[in-house]
A and B are shown apart, each in its own frame.
Chain A
Amino acid sequence: MEFFLVSLLNGVSYGLLLFMLSSGLTLIFSMMGVLNFAHASFYMLGAYFAYQISTAVGFWPALVLAPLLVGVVGGAIERYGLRRVHRYGHVPELLFTFGLAYLIEEVVHLIWGRIAVDYRIPEALDFGAFQVFDSLYPAYRVFMMAVSIAMLGALYWTLTRTRIGLIIRAALTHADMVQALGHNVPRVFMLVFGGGCALAALAGVIGGNAFVTEPAMAAAVGSIVFVVIVVGGLGSLAGAFIASLAIGVIQTFAVALDWSLLDTFREVGWTGEAARAIGTIKLSQFAPVLPYILMVLILIFRPRGLLGRRDT
């Protein structure tokens, strides 16, 4: 029971982090039709900026400043890069973000080197928050969840209860109409792109010190966020939320279970040579592949994703 609860908490906290990462990506996609390959790079930038700022003024200012800075960088990239490429169609846009990911990685190499930086959890959060049976659950994990949920709330409130949210939602489906009504749609695009990048950066700020801040961190999460938005349905925030929680929990539990295919084969009475060859692989060794299998299954049986509205 203790094991189940701790694993569930671990899964949910990882899932929420994934959601923070993928929410920006899915927003940008639904609005601008751009699959931003550089999205995970903004996650990395967030972690590095936070490291740099926290060495100067501490973690708490970094928590606010780093996402803002990355948001500004993202907005500028949209305004001066992506918007120019936009008129040539989707493929150049895709290539642009693809190149951008490499560019950002090289810039990180140049400034911070190829080695992981020493970005640590603030001491104020380095303690056990509460008791789960006889093990302490780390406070920083609780903090990660709190930040994600606060962000989720803020995002929901902005999109549904404010004027700017109204315009964004209108521009999602009827960009021309919104433009005709006198709103500056390109500026809304810039805001959304910058905001999406800031969300990714916020994930980087709290994920960078929980795990490790290194130049390879973008590549490590890059593919998984695409899985999240494909499974959730491209462009669907609620879908991304469900998908990231599901993937977080599935991965955590898969790691924890030493169940192997052999047991299942034995159940159904197949004990041949081939069964033994495949069957010795444990589920825990299989854990990193599971999200991708899920994605393939979703693409076969429900190509629009869990809550997606369009067939892609």
Chain B
Amino acid sequence: MQLRHGAAALALAAGCIAGNALAQSIKIAYIDPLSGAFANVGEAGASQFQMVIEDINAKGGVLGGRKLELVKFDNKTSPQESLIQFKAVTDQGIRYITQGNGSSVAGVLIDAVNKWNERNPDKTVLFLNYAAVDPDFTNDKCSFWHFRFDANSDMKMQALTSFIAKRPAIKKVYLFNQDYQFGKQVSRAANEMLGKKRPDIKIVGDEFIGLGKVKDFAPYVAKIKATGADTVITGNWGNDLTLFVKAAREAGLKSDFYTYYGGGLGTPAALGASAEGKVKQITEWHINIPNTPILPFAQEFKKRTKIDLYYGRVNVQMRMFAAALNSAGSDDPAKVATALEGMFLSTEIGDVEMRKDDHQLLQNLYISTFTKVDGKNPKYDLEGTGFAPHRHVELPHRLRCRPPAR
């Protein structure tokens, strides 16, 4: 009898713990700059994650009622600091991390996650990458524990160079990038691909600047001007792009800009009217693509944070993550990763597929040009400038044949 009581109590206690686990939220660690030169970018990203998560939670959460929860960690865009933060993440028992700003950071995080998972097979961690686009992460450094939701820099450069190849007016190209993995990859890809597609184009400059180090870009702009470049290709982001275009505008640089992140936080405001017809960006989404279901979300985000929504892919990532949790029926990262592999999803910005071989998301890309907003088409401007990306070229990706719905 005594024994049976004990067993009952134990069962009750076990039930309590299980109930607790059911009610417990699933935490996602956001490891990105919340201070330092790129803090503005990091904070804007965090706000968007927060709002998507609230939306998912409001619609019933995941795994039959459990909530998602964002926990922020400040890495100051530093790889060393990121490792310290990753230690804090694992100490707190968080099993999912997301990061985007800086392939330098993503590289060390992938290594850290791989090592951690090898040593702690019962406490594995999954890395969802929303913006670090060094192609190596889905090639040589490919990891089962890493998924990338942004097109990698080679995919974007393929699109940009194909676009450039059709424009015979482009004769002299200047490459202007940040001095770390990503910037080097952009430069390498541009050199290779332009060399193949348009061997007549002269690359008149191939410049690298310290990540977040330069505050006065006027000397660089004078240098670009002296080369007579008609086109600048830049992978710069954050203040490295904002301050650059600001200096270019002040000095009246007339070149076209082919950017990876031209619509990103702060850049449209720094460009102002000087962007018209000159600045292009390549993204998975922008505000003037008609009839994308993400629009109400973008408007609500703007109302709440006064920031123009930039990352279509953050929504994609979190929707896929929620779908993967549900289809795995578990919050175990290994099972979620397996569920993510090869997953198809119709999202707010279109149909996407997570390629099984290398964990690279396939999605449509758009090359758009900054255009004056007339209230109809294009309808929405960015950062109160009266200008926004428009007149895009759509570059659809090819999905595999969709398997029958299960």
Q: A residues near B, CB below 8 A? A: 2-3, 6-7, 10-11, 14, 109, 114-116, 118, 128, 135-138, 140-141, 210-212, 214-217, 220, 251-253, 255-256, 258, 284-285, 288
Contact = CB atoms under 8 A, between A and B. Distances in A.
Interface stretch (B88-96, B214-222, B325-333, B396-404): B214-222
Interface of B: 34-37, 39-40, 43, 179, 205, 207-208, 210, 213, 215-216, 218-220, 222-223, 225-226, 239, 243, 250-252, 269
Contacts of B43: 115
A116 B270 CA distance: 14
Nearest to B36: A216
Contact of B223 (A256, A285, A288): A256
A141 B218 CA distance: 10
A92 to B, nearest CB: 30
B346 to A, nearest CB: 35
Contacts of A216: 36-37
Contacts of B213: 288
A288 B210 contact: yes
A255 B215 contact: no
Contact of B252 (A14, A128, A253): A128
Given A216-B36, A220-B215, A288-B213, A3 B222 contact: yes
Contacts of B222: 3, 6-7, 10, 256
A25 B216 CA distance: 22
Given A115-B39, A285-B208, A212 B179 contact: no
23 contacts: A2-B225, A3-B223, A7-B219, A7-B223, A109-B35, A114-B34, A115-B40, A118-B269, A135-B225, A136-B252, A138-B251, A140-B250, A210-B216, A214-B37, A217-B215, A220-B215, A251-B219, A252-B219, A255-B220, A255-B223, A256-B220, A256-B222, A285-B179
Contacts of A217: 215
A3 B215 contact: no
A160 B258 CA distance: 55
B273 to A, nearest CB: 11
Nearest to B226: A3
Contacts of A212: 215, 239, 243
Given A211-B216, A212-B215, A256-B219, A116 B225 contact: no
A116 B207 contact: no
Contacts of B223: 3, 7, 255-256, 284
Contacts of B216: 10, 14, 210-211
B39 A2 contact: no
A299 B85 CA distance: 40
A7 B37 CA distance: 26
Which interface residue of B35, B37, B213, B223 has the most chain A CB atoms within 10 A? B223
B215 A211 contact: yes
Nearest to B210: A288
Given A3-B226, A7-B222, 13 more contacts: A3-B223, A14-B216, A114-B34, A114-B35, A115-B43, A116-B39, A116-B239, A135-B252, A214-B37, A216-B36, A256-B220, A256-B226, A288-B213
Given A3-B223, A10-B219, A288-B213, A215 B35 contact: yes
A10 B218 contact: yes
A136 B251 contact: yes
Which 10 pairs between the two chains have the least Cβ-Cβ distance?
A3-B226, A114-B35, A138-B250, A255-B219, A211-B215, A6-B222, A252-B219, A256-B223, A136-B252, A10-B218
A303 B35 CA distance: 38
A250 to B, nearest CB: 11
Contacts of A118: 269
Contacts of A253: 219
Contacts of B251: 6, 135-138
Contacts of A109: 35
A7 B207 CA distance: 17
Contacts of B36: 114, 216
Nearest to A257: B223
A16 to B, nearest CB: 13
Contacts of A251: 219
Nearest to A118: B269
B234 to A, nearest CB: 16
Contacts of A11: 219
Nearest to A217: B215
B71 to A, nearest CB: 18
A121 B68 CA distance: 42
B300 to A, nearest CB: 22
B213 to A, nearest CB: 7
Nearest to A5: B222
A222 to B, nearest CB: 13
B179 to A, nearest CB: 7
B242 to A, nearest CB: 8
Nearest to A256: B223
